[in-house]
């Protein structure tokens, strides 16, 4: 592996631009090329001193890179990841990893076939409050977990859906659990493991111009025996309000809260007081709306460190698949008795 790890980015939208910025800022990374089907983005892309392509196939042929960052719409993740792997590149795949476990299986098979690595983007794992609670759980300091409540109350308005024709489409977007709240499903998995059973309700109250639900509530039984309640909505009035995990366990109660899992809101833990964690202004800011915590610098660092033999992959393709399996379970259990 050369001194610098070369990266190309396909999909030069909001999240693709975030990847580009962090690649440019990393001392051991080099931006090789940018690809997007929108020709109007050429000037901005070329301002970084790299070639711009409107065809992934052409970019892979003419500007080979060590890594391709797949930042295209949800329904293209599988296709673009497999193309990149086949061309001899590792792939960084934005969330959701794919639209189904079947697509994940195709991607994993391709990674094995070509001897390459898929890095699934789950940047909320790096949030300091999440890491603090992860360590507590790993060390057994909370004891048996009884109940987890997850609340995800964000705002997505008509302007957001009008920005891109794939948003709000069942086939291309998939639903809130694939797009807005897949990170919360991942943190549930990261901290507590897989779902055993899922039942719930979903409904589209306010976004009738889309094909998707905008609100849901689920009762989950986790494989570790805990119960979980998972509530989400994109109907928070005018702005994002809350992203929170409340954990009730044998030896403690703790809430990770704030708008983006960025604070420890309260805690009562046997023989332990967690350090105060309150991070502000760290969300991905897209102008008229905000996304999850902006930890993509850590994602790029993990890729570089892994390829240089200094770190394990933070989120493997298998873990990315497990999260998609949980989303499938939840949707399969929705409105079962409606």
For 187-219, what is each residue's pLDDT tens digit? 999 999 999 999 999 999 999 999 999 999 999
Q: 124-293 domain in CATH 3.40.50.800? A: no
pLDDT of residue 260: 86
Pairwise CA distance, residues 29 & 199, whole Å: 44
Pairwise CA distance, residues 328 & 333, whole Å: 9
Q: Return the ∠ at Cα 152 (arms to 150 and 156), rounded to 5°.
A: 165
Residue with the bigger pLDDT between 66 and 260: it is: 66
pLDDT of residue 30: 98
pLDDT of residue 259: 84
pLDDT of residue 332: 97
pLDDT of residue 338: 56
Tell me the CA distances in angstroms from 26 to 23, 108, 170, 176, one per residue in order.
5, 28, 36, 32
pLDDT of residue 284: 44
**How much is the average pLDDT of 171-189?**
98
State the pLDDT confidence band at 289, using cuts at 50, 70 and 90.
very low
List, for residues 71-83, the tens digit of each pLDDT value.
Answer: 999 999 999 999 9
pLDDT of residue 278: 60
State the pLDDT confidence band at 2, using cuts at 50, 70 and 90.
low
Mean pLDDT of the chain: 94
Residue 267, pLDDT > 90, answer yes
Tell me the CA distances in angstroms from 190 to 52, 127, 242, one per residue in order.
37, 12, 20
Q: What is the pTM of this model?
A: 0.93
Pairwise CA distance, residues 71 & 77, whole Å: 8
Contact indicator for 113, 193 with CB cutoff of 8 Å: no
- Third-level CATH fold of 5-120: Rossmann fold (3.40.50)
Residue 292, pLDDT > 70, answer no
List, for residues 77-104, the tens digit of each pLDDT value.
Answer: 999 999 999 999 999 999 999 999 999 9
DSSP state of 39: G
DSSP 266-310: EEEETTB-PPP-B--S-EEE-SS-EEEE--HHHHHHHHHHHHTTS
pLDDT of residue 275: 75
Of the chain, the end-to-end C-alpha distance in Å amounts to 55
pLDDT of residue 3: 85
pLDDT of residue 287: 47
pLDDT of residue 293: 58
Pairwise CA distance, residues 139 & 299, whole Å: 25
Contact indicator for 120, 189 with CB cutoff of 8 Å: no
Where along the chain do its domains lie? 5-120, 124-293
């Amino acid at each position: 592996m050369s001194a610098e790890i070369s990266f190309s980015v396909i999909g030069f939208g909001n999240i693709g631009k975030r990847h580009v910025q962090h690649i440019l800022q990393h001392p051991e990374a080099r931006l090789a090329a940018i690809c997007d089907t929108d020709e109007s983005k050429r000037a901005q892309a070329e301002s970084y001193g790299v070639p711009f392509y409107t065809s992934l196939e052409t970019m892979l042929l003419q500007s080979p890179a060590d890594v391709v960052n797949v930042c295209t719409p949800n329904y293209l993740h599988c296709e673009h990841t497999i193309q990149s792997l086949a061309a001899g590149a590792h792939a960084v795949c934005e969330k959701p990893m794919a639209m189904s476990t079947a697509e994940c299986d195709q991607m994993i098979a391709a990674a094995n076939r070509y001897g390459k690595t898929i890095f699934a983007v789950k940047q909320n794992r790096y949030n300091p409050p999440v890491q603090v609670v992860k360590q507590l759980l790993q060390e057994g300091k909370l004891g048996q977990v009884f109940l987890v409540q997850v609340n995800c109350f964000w705002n997505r308005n008509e302007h957001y859906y009008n920005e891109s024709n794939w948003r709000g489409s069942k086939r291309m977007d998939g639903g809130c659990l694939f797009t807005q709240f897949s990170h919360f499903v991942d943190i549930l998995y990261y901290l507590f493991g897989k779902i055993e059973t899922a039942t719930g309700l979903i409904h589209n109250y306010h976004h009738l111009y889309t094909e998707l639900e905008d609100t849901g509530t689920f009762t989950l039984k986790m494989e570790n025996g805990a119960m979980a309640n998972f509530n989400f909505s994109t109907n928070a009035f005018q702005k994002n309000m809350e992203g929170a995990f409340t954990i009730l366990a044998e030896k403690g109660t703790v809430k990770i809260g704030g708008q983006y899992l960025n604070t420890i809101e309260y805690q009562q833990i046997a023989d332990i007081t967690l350090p105060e964690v309150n991070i502000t202004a760290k969300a991905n800011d897209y102008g008229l709306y905000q996304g999850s915590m902006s930890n993509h610098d850590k994602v790029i660092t993990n890729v570089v460190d892994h390829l240089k033999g200094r770190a394990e992959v933070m989120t493997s393709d298998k873990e990315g698949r497990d999260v998609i399996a949980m989303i499938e379970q939840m949707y399969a259990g929705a409105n079962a008795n409606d």
